[in-house]
Amino acid sequence: MSQSETLVSLANLKKYFPLTGGVFRKIIGMVHAVDDVSLDIYRGETLGVVGESGCGKTTLGRTILRLLEPTDGTITFMGQDITHLKGSDLRNIRHEMQIVFQDPMASLDPRVTIKNTVGEPLLINGIARGPKLRAMVLDLLQKVGLTEDHLNRFPHEFSGGQRQRICIARALALNPKFVVMDEPTSSTDVSVQAQTLNLMKDLQDEFGLTYMFISHNLSVVKHMSDRLAVMYLGKIVELTPYDIFRKALHPYTFALVSAVPVPDPRFSGRAVLLKGEVPSPINPPIGCRFNPRCIFAQEICRTDEPPLRDVGDGHLVACHFAGELDFGKSSQMEYAQTAEAEAS
């Protein structure tokens, strides 16, 4: 990971969705999906993004790619401010950034063959046509582990894992620098998931890609990422280069980690640390957004919003008491230490 070169830089990025109601569809509120996110993504790294559903991780990914118009803030991509780009300028920059969606069946046109699906970006951008296009498509398909027989088939003829490979091939067609992976394996089985994750790591090395890897599965994100951002109600609460299963400084991160089922019966029966559910992002809590569910909440947490501050080595935490809280030991941590001791 080269710390020096920043590929994507976000400054105070906000995305609000208006909420309408009444006879005249007046705006009656705002859903604060992404609220004041500042972040740098370095070239060649994988930035993982985790959080519960509705925390804004998908919206963040789509806003970076300008698939959604940001409400406020700036997005800088390869040193260029792309927040307000339009027309051909935007199209040109879009070569460099792609996305792989969660549900591969929904993101492939059922009436278009694989050859045309994967070839479409090449054709539209005038990169190749005719026999050359076919050769390029075949090359892409072979890179993701599909063969020539698959060229003229339709999406329904493939299994879930293969469909996801097709989506990955399509995303890589224009040789992008930055790919957002939006829950790419959440609809697949563990054995297929392992194949897809391995493939994505291989492709990252081969094409020199930078990934933003969005998922709600903590062990998958941890496996894939160099750095990890934990989101809660539209905000980044912790951004860490460390393994969150071992070192978590925000109480939310720790609670999230301790909810992951441990695949070892010796460490079952943990306490549930998170009571209740995520509050509505329409009227987020005042002060620290996590304060109603936080067992360590103090008076200051209910009034002042903690800034995301650096506690050393690029480890950013948005908590008034970062580093001062004693969470105890999670069963996940005990499991990891025991498994490690047994392995060595």
Partner 1 sequence: MSSSEDLVLSVKGLTTNFYTYEGIVKALDSVELSLRRGDTMGIVGETGCGKSVTAKCILRLIEPPGRIDGGQILFSDRDPKTGETNEIDILQLAPEEMLTIRGNKIAIVFQDPATYPNPVFRIGAQIAEVVSLHQDLGREVLEIRIRELEDSVKNSSSAEHQAKVREQIEHYVSMLENPPKPDKKYARKAAWAKAVDMLRLVRMPSPEQVANQYPHELSGGMRQRALIAMALACNPSILICDEATTALDVTVQAQVLNLLNELKKDIGASIMIITHDLGVVAETCNWVMVMYAGTTVESTSTKELFEHPVHPYTIGLITAIPKLHENKERLDQIQGTVPNLINPPTGCRFHPRCAFATEICSRERPSLEEVRPGHYVACHNPQGNV
Residues interacting with partner 1, by CB under 8 A?
52-53, 159-162, 189-195, 197-198, 201, 216-220, 222-223, 243, 245, 255-256, 258-270, 272, 274-275, 277, 332, 335-337, 339-340, 343
- Beta-sheet strands, E only, within the chain: 6-21, 26-42, 46-50, 72-77, 80-81, 97-100, 178-182, 210-214, 227-232, 235-240, 309-310, 316-317
Q: How far is the CB of 121 from partner 1 (least distance, A)?
A: 27
Q: How far is the CB of 273 from partner 1 (least distance, A)?
A: 8
Nearest CB to partner 1, comparing residues 14 and 201: 201
Nearest CB to partner 1, comparing residues 83 and 196: 196
Nearest CB to partner 1, comparing residues 189 and 310: 189
Nearest CB to partner 1, comparing residues 77 and 254: 254
Q: How far is the CB of 76 from partner 1 (least distance, A)?
A: 31
For residue 52, what is the DSSP state?
Answer: -
Nearest CB to partner 1, comparing residues 136 and 194: 194
Buried/exposed 219-240: b ≥16 CB within 10 Å, e otherwise? ebbbebbebbbbbbbbbbbbbb
Alpha-helical segments (H) within 208-288: 218-224, 251-258
Nearest CB to partner 1, comparing residues 75 and 144: 144
For residue 203, what is the DSSP state?
Answer: H
Q: How far is the CB of 261 from partner 1 (least distance, A)?
A: 3
Residue 177 CB neighbours (<10 A): 18
- Torsions phi, psi of 71, nearest 5? -75, -40
Q: How far is the CB of 192 from partner 1 (least distance, A)?
A: 7
User: Do strands 80-81 and 316-317 pair parallel, antiparallel, or not at all (unpaired)?
Assistant: unpaired
**Which residues, at least 6 apart from 22, have a Cβ–Cβ distance to it below 8 Å?**
28
Q: How far is the CB of 99 from partner 1 (least distance, A)?
A: 22
Nearest CB to partner 1, comparing residues 34 and 333: 333
d(CA 306, CA 322): 10
Amino acid at 209: L
Residue 85 CB neighbours (<10 A): 17
Q: How far is the CB of 5 from partner 1 (least distance, A)?
A: 23
Nearest CB to partner 1, comparing residues 327 and 335: 335
Q: Residue 38 corresponds to which tokens in the numbers above?
A: 């500042």
Q: How far is the CB of 29 from partner 1 (least distance, A)?
A: 18
**Helix, strand or coil, per DSSP, at residue 239:** strand
